[in-house]
A and B are shown apart, each in its own frame.
Chain A
Amino acid sequence: MGRRALTWLTARADNPRVAISAGPRGAYRDDVLVQAPVLRRRRRSATARKESYLAWGLLTPTLLVILFLVAYPFFSAIYLSLQDKMVGAPGRLVGLDNYLSLFRDEVFLRTAWNSVVYTVVAVALKFVLGLTMALILDQPRRFNNVFRTLLFVPWAVPVVIVSLNWRWIFDDLSGFLNNFLITFHITSDIISWLADPRLAMACVIAVVVWSGTPFYSMTFLAGLQAIPKELYEAAEIDGASLGQQFFFITIPRLKTIFLTTVMLSTIWTATNLQFVLILTRGGPASRTEIFPHLAYTTALGARRLGMGAAVSLVFFPLLVVLIVLLTRRMLRPADE
């Protein structure tokens, strides 16, 4: 290749017309690398600098948001958790005192246990119910579109409204549930759904499941519909039963979606305080108290900002694991 060829090859980054007329992209890449490494690098670095200024310019608003609204508050939460700061008063550094006193606190320990039960049970139920829903909607049926739209509706309803609505359903004297049970003579006693220490947590979880299941069925259904039908046909010819088809085709094919969905949902379920705040306020006797709600009442009810920050951070190490795994997963298809 002569000198002229060299220049038009290296000018490619600046002049896309050349790139287009040069045929399929990448066809000449090896030549460039072999024949003009030095020239190429110099030419590139000029445009590269221009590109990178433009890139940082375009990213400025996003970076400001990340820095000031997430990164700074996050680190300041850590700093805050090491102080005995109250609302409206300067704080004093107390080291790990906040954390240490948490682990001696009975309410906190109960909260820790509640949070685990709440998250695990809610996620498990949403998973099972979501998979059932997705499998049903994947069966051929008339008006399936309508059914799908209806079953996914809870997902679009604000969580506050979901909680208020269910609180009214659970209402002792006039709520739907007791009203229904008494009208049809299933029970004669009034059941205090949200005030009974044995029932409160189950009721809260039921609401969480109602509101969160559609997210699972949506992702699962999309996964089911992406499985090539030929796989099932081939299995059928080979004499596989429906159960075998389910366990050897469906489940393995959905594994990635299962993992991503469960991890995302675990983060959001464990850190959502709206259900508890509106349904029970952590009661009765801390039976439904979970981390985010305890942090909320400590920081804003008792006005102990430092302690509140400590409560919200105690469960963060667990979340970090999920966040790291998820980040890797969510960037995989797109990022190099």
Chain B
Amino acid sequence: MVRTTSGSRRLLKWVGNGLLVVLLVWTLLPFYWMIATSLKADREIYGFEATLYPHRPTLAAYGRLFGTTPFMKYVRNSTIIAVGNTLLSLAFGCLGAYALARLRFPGRSLIARGLVVTYLVPPALLFIPLFAVMSTLRLIDTHQGLILAYLSFSVPFSTWLLMGYFRSVPLELEEAALVDGCSRLGSLIRVILPMSLPALAVVTFFSFTQSWNEFLYANVFVNSVEVRTITTGLSLFIVEDVFFWGPMMGASFLSTLPPLVMYLIFQRWVVKGLTLGAVKG
């Protein structure tokens, strides 16, 4: 009996190796095509002479991207909005989560519940009325408007995630700090936050990448080039000029880098944060 299991285990291992190769090809092929396209000259991109790999690699597409498109402006806008949103989500999240995790007050579990519900309500449902809200507040075409709109998903998520984490910090540590004359806020900053670095990393990662990657609100609430983010800017390349795939793939590659690098740095904690419950996928 044992012999047969080890036999089928060896078989499974080879099946697994085979499938792994297939899955790697499936996963990595689009990246290959993206990078390959960005390194080709137009002649190799279109028509009968189109090639499967760049025969004469060139950076011309990147030259055109930086020289003739507002790409750098988009990068600047995305950065401002993602960083602004991340800082606010961290601040709001920490304060709210501390209250929910450590203080007793009527309505606490109701708010905790409200947070999760809020997080689960999809943007596809909210963008039409939010558009009206933004118009009334004259926040259309502003960085502040988008930062605000993104708070609607990043704050509930970060508060919920931090709440769970703060609760796992031993009460005794905080009590000791309170005895030593620390205020509640002081103990949050000096005791709880240093012990919650993994959770803070996860919140930073998600707030930043979700703002950076967001498209729907950015598309609806912004029209001007001065505020447009990468995601909407890129999708406009395709309408304005169909024969633009070289620079477009270059831009795609470059704009994937920030979330990708963050993922590589934070992946250990991010996967842990995922098992905690919820992450957009």
Contacts and interface: CB of A to CB of B under 8 A. Distances in A.
Given A20-B176, A62-B96, A80 B128 contact: yes
A179 to B, nearest CB: 5
A76 B132 contact: yes
Contacts of B56: none
Nearest to B8: A242
Interface size class of B (residues with CB under 8 A): 35 or more
A141 B24 CA distance: 15
Contacts of A278: 235, 238
B260 to A, nearest CB: 5
Contact of B129 (A73, A165, A218): A73
Given A176-B52, A327-B117, A25 B46 contact: no
A51 B50 CA distance: 69
A55 B99 contact: yes
Given A158-B212, A165-B30, A299 B128 contact: yes
A103 interface: no
A48 interface: yes
B20 interface: yes
B241 interface: no
User: Chain B interface secondary structure, helix, strand, loop or mixed?
Assistant: helix
User: Chain A interface secondary structure, helix, strand, loop or mixed?
Assistant: helix
B129 A271 contact: no
A150 B24 contact: yes
A260 B128 contact: no
B112 interface: yes
A16 B26 CA distance: 58
Interface in B153-178: 155-156, 159-160, 163-164, 167, 171-172, 175-176, 178
B116 interface: yes
Interface stretch (A92-100, A193-201, A306-314): A306-314
A153 B23 CA distance: 12
A156 B30 contact: no
B12 interface: yes
A63 B112 contact: no
Interface stretch (B59-67, B195-203, B213-221): B213-221
Given A210-B27, A312-B124, 6 more contacts: A59-B111, A70-B126, A74-B125, A215-B281, A241-B8, A330-B278
17 contacts: A19-B175, A55-B108, A62-B155, A65-B92, A72-B129, A73-B126, A77-B128, A141-B13, A153-B28, A158-B256, A161-B234, A165-B33, A169-B33, A174-B245, A222-B271, A242-B9, A273-B124
Interface of A: 15-17, 19-20, 25, 48, 51-52, 54-56, 58-59, 61-63, 65-66, 68-74, 76-77, 80, 129, 132-133, 135-136, 139, 141, 147, 149-162, 164-169, 171, 173-174, 176, 179-180, 183, 210, 212, 214-216, 218-219, 221-223, 226, 236, 239, 241-242, 257, 260, 264-265, 267-268, 271-274, 277-278, 291-292, 295-296, 299-300, 305, 308-309, 312-313, 316, 319, 322-323, 326-327, 329-331, 333-336
